[in-house]
Every structure is written in structure tokens, then in C-alpha cells.
Amino acid sequence: MLTTTRNSETAQLFRSTVRLADPVARSLLSLLLLVITLLLSQVVCAQAQTELKHAEPADTFRIVDTAPVVVNGKVRFHVVGVSAYPAKRRAHETARRIEALAQDSKFDPKTLRVEDTGNFHQIFPGESGKAILSVLEADAEFEGIRRTVLAETLRISIAESINNYRHDRQPAVLRKNALYALGSTVVLIALLLGVFWGFRRLNGFLERRVKRYMENLETRSQRIFRGEQLWGLLLGALQMLRVLVVMFLVYVFVNFALSLFPQTRYTAHTLLQFVASPLGGMVDAVINFIPSLVFLVVLFFITRYELKLARVVFTAIENKRLQIKRFEADWAWPTYRIVRVGIILFALVIAYPFIPGSESAAFKGVSVLLGVLFSLGSTSVISNVIAGYTMTYRRAFRIGDRVKIGATVGDVAEMRVLVTHLRTPKNEEVVIPNSTILNGEVTNYSTMARDQGLILHTTVGIGYDVPWRQVEAMLLLAAERTEGFLKEPKPFIRQKLLADFAVNYELNAYCDDASRMMELHTGMCRNIQDVFNENGVQIMSPVYMGDPAEPKVVPKELWYTPPATEQG
């Protein structure tokens, strides 16, 4: 009642506030409502548990030894036993005395009498004879009535038992029950034949109609669903249903036939209890579970609503309809996944006490076992997951970037929670664990290419006899001829080293497309060779013994010596 009142007040406050709020505020207030509602429920549960702990201790329950007194195949009443005289023995001897009186045709059940001896009541078969049953104070306590009332009630029950015993064993009654049993056998055989006939007709109907539909379904689904497998599952379900129907009919017949005769009536009662007790327990469990089920259903819809609400908010962030300071749009979906997992875990924690069997030792043992197995086998998985989200917020790279991770150069094709997929320039797919990326060095060629341009460079060695101004002019000309380099910023030259036999010049040029790195670098090297050959300048090899008699240059008329072509 306390939970309902508080929740209604919270809901009223929420509705009055929402009328004045914008969509984003409504989203945040809805999330706040979920938190408040669940916390209030936990507070109420904690208060209830505290009250139970401080309540006065109830009377100590004790196990009572009882046994049924079965006469003529029916349970007439129960008796209580003690350690010196167990209930089972007492019930058996009482039933034997009642049946002995029933077998005595001279005994009149109306002569049964009850006598109060002070500490207990006794039921006698007339004015003389041994007592049939002593009614103890423990019997009265077990039944919850006064001992005098219980003794009189048992006297009437014993008299009815004797009359029923004699009636059920009359020849006319036995013949009538035998005819009933024979008739029920005929009905059972007819029903079984009808069941088998009906299922055969049903199989034929399904084979003509449903099997053809399953074959068409297999064709339409491009063989995702196999018609033979679906047909086999359907036949298996029909066979199981047929077996259940047959078992039910046989059970009903056996129980009815056994209940007709006094000698087997208790067996029929036992068979009925075998089925009725579990079913009754299941029905009671379902009824008792209804309040928890209502709570779980409400929690499910609240959680589902909050997940949809979170999805709307982060979709707006991704589409830049909702902007949060210093929160990048690329972070929307990774953050949504984290929030979604948090909402689901929070809901599971709240729902756990209301799940059937959650307090049982078996459920707890399985939970602990799964937790241990998960903790032992998921260390690397968790590290990769954490690394994946860390890289997302570090913004090391994004899909489509040209990167170098370790010794692998390629374009980022896909970023997952556990791994990252790279596609190399040779069209190879490389899968790298996120933990490896987080602990290693990452070179991103695309980041600066988009903003300021990526610098591609190459080094050539030219002899000291060539003026450096001429060399730099030729290198800049080669960069200018290379299509794809930016005009601004302009290419530039650096002299890296005055070596023993040559000067090492480095040509640097800007490009805005990192995916063309190799293509542009190749074009740059080709144009350098062409320009130097045009101007008769020899590119020095790393080490040589002396200057050759003639410069080692390729004249222009030999540039396209077969099989080279102008297009190549």
C-alpha cells in the first residue's frame, strides 16, 4: 500500500512537470522516474524485512507424525502417533478392527458408543468388547477441534465405513461395477481406435496441404529453412501429442476401473494423487506467483520504454539535432550501448528476487558456477571490450581511415567491440584485437590529410657536382607534375645529409587523400626519374668506386623502350 501511494504521487508530479518540459527534458524526467520507482520498491522491501526481523518470534513448529485410516479403499480420517506407538501402526490396527466389525454380519453400527475416561475418549462396539479407537488430546489438536466433538465425529465416520464396507461387497453391487468396468473397457478401445484413426487422417491432411507449403517456404527462403526438417519436427510433435492423448485415456480408464472395486479403490486414490498433487502444486505456485509476475511485467515495460527513450536521445545526438558540449556525435552509439547494458543490468538486479526459485540453493549454485566460469574464461574478452570503448572515446581513428597498427598498414573497414578489421592495400583483411591496439602504437594517416594535408616524401642522393638549387628545382618540378598533390601548401625540399659521395635531398608534398598514398608516392618517384633524365643529372647509387666515363642517365628517346608504352 505504501509503494502504491508513493508511486502515484511520483507519477502525478511527473505528469504535471512533463506538460511544461521540452522533449529532451521529458526524456530525462522519464529516466528519473524509473530510478525513483525502483528505489522506492527496494526501500519498502527493506522496511518489510526489517519489521519481520524485529517481530516477536512465532511459536516453534514441530513435525507431527500422522497416518490415514483406510477402510474399504477410502481414507476415513487421520490419527496421530508417538514414538512408542507410531501413527502408521495405530492407523493400520484401527482399520483392521473396523473391517473386522464390518465382516461380522451380527454387529449393528448403531450400537457404537463413546466413553470419556478423563484423559482421552474411547469408541466401543456396543456395551462390551475391546475399544476400536482411543481419541487422544493430540488428535484433537491436530484436527483443531475439541476432543468430545472429534470423538463423536469419528464414531459417525466409523459407522458409515462399516455400512459402506458391507454395501460395496454385495453380489449385486459387484456385478454392476464389473459391468461398468467392462463398458469402460469397450469405450476405451473405441476411443483409442478413434484417436489412431483421427491422427492418421490428420497426418494425411497435413501431408497434402502443409508439406507442400513447407516445400514452397524452403524455395522462398533460399533454403534457409529446410522443408524436410520442418516436416520432421511437425510429425514428431504430432506423435508426441498422440502419445499424450493415449496415456491420458488409459490413465482415466485405469483410475475409473480401480475405483469401482473396494479392494483396489485406495490404489486408484493413490494414482489420482500422483497426478493431482503435482498439478495442484503447480496451480498454487502459479497463483502465488501472480503478484511477482505483475511486478515483472510492469518492470519489463518500464525498461523497454527507457531503452526506446535512450535510443531516441542518442539518435538525436548522432544526427546532431541534439548537441551536448564536448560530446562528439561519433560517441552516440557506443555510449548508447553502455547505457543500454546498464539499464538492463539494473532491471535484472531489481527483478532477481521476484524470479521463481531465485532463493533456492540450486538456483544460487548455478548462478555462482556461471559467474566463476564467466570470470575465468572472459578475462581477454573483457579487456578487448574495454579497449574497444577506450579507443572510441580516444578517437584514435574512424571507419575509412588509413592507419598503421604495428607493422600492418590498411584502411579501417569495421570497428567492433572486441576486434578491429583492416583492409590492406593488397586487399587483405587483417583482424586485430582491440587490446593489442590499445597497448601499441597507432599511426593515423587520414586525420591530418583531411584538415592540413598528409606529407608524402622520398629521398634521392645527388652528386656534389650538381648545384643544389638545380636539384631542388627539378624535385619541385617532379612534384608539380604528379597529379593528386595539393598546390597549397606548396611542396618543399630538405637536405637531410651531406654524405661521403652525394647530398641526400628529401622531397615533401601534400595530399588530401590518404588512401592514394602508394599511388601518389609511385607517381612522384616516376616523375623524379623523368625530370632528372631530361636534365642529364645522374641519381647516385648509395656507394660506388668512381665516376663513370659517361653519366648514367636514360635519354628521352629511350624512355619508352619496348615493352614500355607511353600509357605505362
DSSP 38: H
Distance between CA atoms of 35 and 16, rounded to whole angstroms?
18
Contacts of 450 (CB under 8 A, 6+ apart): 512
Position 59 scores a pLDDT of 44
Cα–chain center distance at 403: 37
Q: Which residues of the chain have pLDDT under 50?
A: 1-61
pTM of the model: 0.46
Distance between CA atoms of 445 and 435, rounded to whole angstroms?
21
Backbone angles phi, psi at 128, to 5 degrees: -135, 170
Position 496 scores a pLDDT of 92
Q: Is the peptide bond before 262 cis (omega within 30 degrees of 0)?
A: no
Cα–chain center distance at 44: 29
Backbone angles phi, psi at 413, to 5 degrees: -90, -35
Position 47 scores a pLDDT of 47
Distance between CA atoms of 355 and 261, rounded to whole angstroms?
46
Distance between CA atoms of 133 and 243, rounded to whole angstroms?
48
**The C-alpha cell that represents 113 in the structure block:** 458408543
Distance between CA atoms of 415 and 522, rounded to whole angstroms?
30
Position 384 scores a pLDDT of 63
